[in-house]
Amino acid sequence: MTETAERATSARGGDGRAPTMGAFAYFEGALVPFADARISVATHTFNYGTGIFEGIRAYLQDDGGVAILFAREHYERFLRNTRLLRMEIRESAEELVEITRQLLRRNGDLTDIYVRPVAYKASTSLRLGLTGMPDRVTIYSFPMGDYVPTTGLRATVSAWQRVNDNAVPARGKVTGSYVNASLAVEDAHAAGYGEAILLTGDGHLAEASSANLFIVSGGEIATPPLSDDVLPGITREAVMRIAGDAGYRVVERRIDRTELYLCDELFFTGTGVQVAPVEEVDGHPVGKGRDYPVTMDLQRIYFDAVRGRDPRHADWLTRV
């Protein structure tokens, strides 16, 4: 492996191998052995990317149990986003939360867990369109620690623009639209960076390949507005809330590319990345380099909350 590839592998927090899946999955209305949760190669979603997905974390608690983070919020967003593809999902948000609890109990992993629900067009018709097709939900899980390092990332501004909301809905987690993120992050990894930052069509910051972003500058924490092709991240909203509670000034505003090179701190948020500081962008050290007091303060508060150590945020967690 080249030095560049080693740096990219290290930066993204793993060796790229597929995770070991849980023994069971939710598929076609029942918990089944994971190996039996199969779709046809002719399935509409497989051919055209007509699916909606979520990423949900469950965390090992200090008392040895496991709790799902923002379970209801994730499934409410999930069902709301299915409307973008004219889906009719039989399960309610409350039912999906309970199904997920049963799935994690059945799989029995006493560790940090990643949960992936997918709503998909189950028809084997190859016609283009969205209506007149059966819609189904599947959910699977697997153990997962840090998706990327939470001590410092190297990032680059991508040549690929963030998908435009007038082309493919940027506010929904549409499976097909993540080709955009895959292209950007693959180029970043090939160049030795751990993450890609995408711009809007008019050159303002949007988000990272699979994370929202914040800059800290002059005592202000700023994040791009949702109107700049930004996914309404649940972790984004939580971090804005805890930052405000901690006394920081938080604003949503348009952010220019050059602010990446001039800001005091830069960090990503998301279910996968959690709260991750960025130490370098395009070879420019962020701020003083490896000194991110605001980011690390927010990260500490966030991790205390997800581990069940902070009673102020007990409502974030659903015990398995």
In angstroms, the CA 296 to CA 306 distance is 15
Active-site position among 57, 121, 173, 204: 173
DSSP string, 66-93: EEEETHHHHHHHHHHHHGGGT---SS-H
Report d(CA 19, CA 36) in Å as an integer: 18
Q: What are phi and psi of 210, to 5 degrees?
A: -145, 40
Q: Collapsing DSSP states into helix, strand and coil, what is residue 185?
A: helix
Three-state secondary-structure class, residue 60: strand
CA distance 37 to 48: 20
Active site residue 173: yes
Tell me the one-letter amino acid at 287: G
- Dist. CA 274–CA 148, nearest whole Å: 9
Report DSSP state, residue 296: H
Q: d(Cα 79, Cα 76) in Å, to the nearest integer?
A: 5
**Would you list the DSSP string of 191-243?**
TT-SEEEEE-TTSBEEEESSSEEEEEETTEEEE--TTTT----HHHHHHHHHH
Give me the active site residues, please: 173
